[in-house]
Amino acid sequence: MPDTSIFLLLLFLILCISIFLSDCLFRRVPNMWLMIALLMQSGCLLLLGKGFNGIGWVSAVSGLTVGLVFFLPLYALRAMAGGDVKFFAVLGFLLGLSALLPVFLIASLIAGIHAAAIYLSRYGLAPSLQLLVMRMTRWPPYQWMLEKRGNRVGIPYAAYLALAAGWIGVSGAGAWKYFT
């Protein structure tokens, strides 16, 4: 049977990059992309007996369940958007239960840095950062992005989940050997 690990890794990285860009630019996590990822992983589990990074059904389903249960209360409290919750659950299905904690911690660290930067710029505690934000808000591509984003605001947590998951996915797939 041919080795599909590199192909699955590339598909996973395409998903992570797509989610990152979509959430950063438009604060959207398209359901269609998540469904395709679920179907691809389910197909691999059925046909190959293992999914991305060699995980089995038990790890995939437990990752999906824990990912959903962990973030659902945050959604109910309006601390997390629905796309973030769904994406974290899908990451649990793709990477398995053991990868959820590192993904969560890395993404939360990046989101915390983002929140601190917003706080510093809004309250004038970092004048150079505030100047950069003022210049950026006048930039036509940024205006277009805001128009497309509509009233969706906040920290793009799914984007940071995608960054962390990409890192964990590449590490778990042993792909570093191809880059050295």
Examine residue 145 and state whether it is found in any structural domain, yes or no: yes
pLDDT at res. 13? 96
Examine residue 180 and state whether it is found in any structural domain, yes or no: no
Give 124's DSSP letter: T
Number of domains in the chain: 1
Mean pLDDT of 4-9: 84
Examine residue 178 and state whether it is found in any structural domain, yes or no: no
Mean pLDDT of 93-119: 94
Examine residue 148 and state whether it is found in any structural domain, yes or no: yes
Of 174, 172, 157, 171, nearest to 79 (Cα)? 157
Examine residue 84 and state whether it is found in any structural domain, yes or no: yes
Residue that the structure tokens 């991305």 belong to = 52
Q: What domain range is 30 assigned to?
A: 5-173
Average pLDDT in the chain: 89
Examine residue 129 and state whether it is found in any structural domain, yes or no: yes
Q: Cα dist. 103→15, 87, 107, 110 in Å?
A: 15, 12, 6, 11
Examine residue 104 and state whether it is found in any structural domain, yes or no: yes
pLDDT tens digits, one per residue of 8-59 = 899 999 999 999 999 988 999 999 999 999 999 999 999 999 998 889 999 9
pLDDT at res. 5? 81
Examine residue 179 and state whether it is found in any structural domain, yes or no: no
